Amino acid sequence: MDTPTLKAVTLTHVRYQRGDQLGHFLAWISLVPVFISLGGFVSHFIFRRELQGMFFALGLLVSQFINELVKKSVQQARPETCALLEMCDSHGWPSSHSQYMFFFAMYFTLLTFKSTGVWDTNKKVFVNSLHWSLALLTMYSRVYLGYHTVAQVFAGAALGIVVGASWYWVVNFVLFRYFPAIEESSFGRKFYIKDTSHIPNVLKFEYDNARAARKTLASNSKSD
């Protein structure tokens, strides 16, 4: 009886050469998409439930779906170095990690420069420079660690930028008009889904309302 071929779930399994400190660092950088998905968007849904954030996350899923379609259509092999890692079961063009990070950086940049009253321009530039730096480091890590060629990561970056900008336009110029209806729907009311895009400074708005509610509660307690 033939022994079946086994495959591993490689979501967080990134290999690097023992003793290579730069490789160790870049292996963690390569996991940034996982941290964003699980730590960022899952936490956002649990605690914030903002429609903009939810459509942002949906866009990343759409982007990854497009990535898989392109990979299966092109079927370009990964570099020979990837075979040595014994972790390369899928095709290599375009890089999904690069596409994910550049989608994230593009969408976040467009979103922050659209918003008003939260950060000044210098803060927006600083915050977005961090995201673009992480995107570039992730792209570099995939080549350095041997998972992709230079062409594959650049293809992923380009596709991520294009899809990210396109999805931003779809959400903020087409789907945006349906946000109030989603907010008022039975689903929106049940799960406290909200849209605060009409509020210039959400942080200040929540701060002021929290203080006002506490003062009202204290006033009612005294009157009782």
Tens of pLDDT, residue by residue over 19-35, are 888 888 888 888 888 88
**Hey, is 210 helix, strand or coil?**
helix
- Distance, in Å, from the CA atom of 107 to the CA atom of 56, rounded to the nearest integer, reads 8
Q: Is residue 2 part of a domain?
A: no
- Distance, in Å, from the CA atom of 214 to the CA atom of 207, rounded to the nearest integer, reads 11
Q: Is residue 3 part of a domain?
A: no
Q: Which of 134, 142, 164, 170 is nearest to 66 (CA)?
A: 164
Q: Is residue 187 part of a domain?
A: yes
Contact 139, 32 (CB under 8 A): no
- 184-191's contacts with Cβ under 8 Å and 24+ in sequence apart are 191/49
**Cβ atoms within 10 Å of 208's Cβ, excluding its own:** 11
Helix ranges (DSSP H) in the chain? 21-29, 32-35, 42-47, 51-74, 80-85, 96-114, 121-144, 150-173, 179-184, 186-190, 202-223
| Predicted pLDDT at 181 | 93
Q: Is residue 13 part of a domain?
A: no
Contact 60, 44 (CB under 8 A): no
Q: What is the pLDDT of residues 161-203, one digit of tens each?
A: 999 999 999 999 999 999 999 999 999 999 999 988 878 778 7
- Distance, in Å, from the CA atom of 22 to the CA atom of 28, rounded to the nearest integer, reads 10
Percent of the chain whose pLDDT exceeds 90: 45
State the residue range of the domain holding 67.
Answer: 21-221
Q: What is the pLDDT of residues 77-136, one digit of tens each?
A: 888 877 776 667 778 899 999 999 999 999 999 988 877 655 677 778 888 899 899 999
| Predicted pLDDT at 1 | 47
| Predicted pLDDT at 165 | 97
Contact 131, 142 (CB under 8 A): no
- Distance, in Å, from the CA atom of 6 to the CA atom of 102, rounded to the nearest integer, reads 32
Q: Which of 52, 59, 149, 43 is nearest to 98 (CA)?
A: 149
Domains held by the chain: number:
1
pLDDT tier, 2 (very low <50, low <70, confident <90, very high otherwise):
low
Q: Is residue 9 part of a domain?
A: no
Structure tokens at 136: 């570039």
Residues in the chain: 224
Q: Is residue 136 part of a domain?
A: yes
179: alpha, beta or left, given left = phi > 0 and alpha = psi -120 to 50? Answer: alpha
Q: Is residue 42 part of a domain?
A: yes
Mean pLDDT of the chain: 85
| Predicted pLDDT at 124 | 80
Contact 163, 56 (CB under 8 A): no
